[in-house]
Amino acid sequence: MKKILLFMVLLVSAAVQAQTNEEAFKTEVQKTIELQHTTDLFVEGLKMQLQKLTENGALDAEKLQPLVEEIGQAVVPALTERMNEVYKENFTLDELKQINAYLATPVGQKVVKLTPMLSAEGINVVQRPELQAKISAIISKYMKN
C-alpha cells in the first residue's frame, strides 16, 4: 500500500513539474515573439499585401486597417501556438532564455530590426542576372541530358 501511495505521489509530482515546465516554456516563447516583434512584422507584411487590394480598387482604403486587425486577431493565436511548437522542437528552455537575454540587448534589437533588410539584400544579390547565369550553368551540369 505504501508503494502504491508513493508511486501516486511521484506521478502527481511529475505531472505538476511537467505542467510548470510547459508554462515556463510558453512564457519564454511569448517573450521571444515580443522581442523579435514577430506579430508586428506579420501584421505589417499582411498590410503591405492587402494594400494591393486598395490600389486596384477591390477594397476601400478606409477598410484596410479593420481588415488587417480582424485577420490579425484570427491568425496571431495560431501563429503563436505554432511558434511554440517550433521553438520546442529546436531549443531547450535554457537555450530559449539565452536567446531572449541576447535579444533584449541593444545589439540583439539591432539584429532584429535589420534582419528583414539583410535577408532582402541577400535575396537581391542571388537574383542578379550574372549570379542567375552561374546558378543555371551549375544546375545544367547536374541535369540529365
Q: Considering the chain, what percentage of its residues have pLDDT values greater than 90? A: 52
51 occurs within a structural domain: yes
Single out the residue of 30, 11, 16, 123 nearest to residue 83, CA to CA.
30
My answer on whether 73 and 132 are in the same domain is no
CA atoms within 13 A on the CB side of 13: 6
Given a contact cutoff of 8 angstroms between Cβ atoms, the answer to whether 123 and 132 are in contact is no
- pTM metric for this prediction: 0.68
My answer on whether 86 and 127 are in the same domain is no
For 14, the domain range is 2-93
Final residue in a domain of this structure, among 49, 71, 93: 93
Given a contact cutoff of 8 angstroms between Cβ atoms, the answer to whether 68 and 51 are in contact is no
- Cα separation, 92 vs 73, whole angstroms: 29
pLDDT at 15 over 90: no
| Element housing 4 (H / E) | helix 2-35
Single out the residue of 115, 131, 121 nearest to residue 36, CA to CA.
115
121 occurs within a structural domain: yes
pLDDT at 7 over 90: no
Burial status of residue 87 (CB atoms within 10 A of its CB: 0-12, 13-18, 19 or more): buried
98 occurs within a structural domain: no
- Which residue in the block uniquely carries the three cell numbers 480582424? 70
pLDDT at 73 over 70: yes
Rg (CA), the chain: 23
My answer on whether 31 and 66 are in the same domain is yes
Per the document, the length of the chain is 145
My answer on whether 114 and 79 are in the same domain is no
**Ramachandran assignment for 105, one of left (phi > 0), alpha (psi -120 to 50 degrees), beta (any other):** beta
Q: What was the pLDDT predicted at 81?
A: 92
My answer on whether 114 and 48 are in the same domain is no
54 occurs within a structural domain: yes
- Which of 7-16, 37-46, 102-111 is predicted with the least confidence, judged by mean pLDDT? 7-16
Which one has a higher pLDDT value, 59 or 30?
30
My answer on whether 29 and 85 are in the same domain is yes
My answer on whether 126 and 87 are in the same domain is no
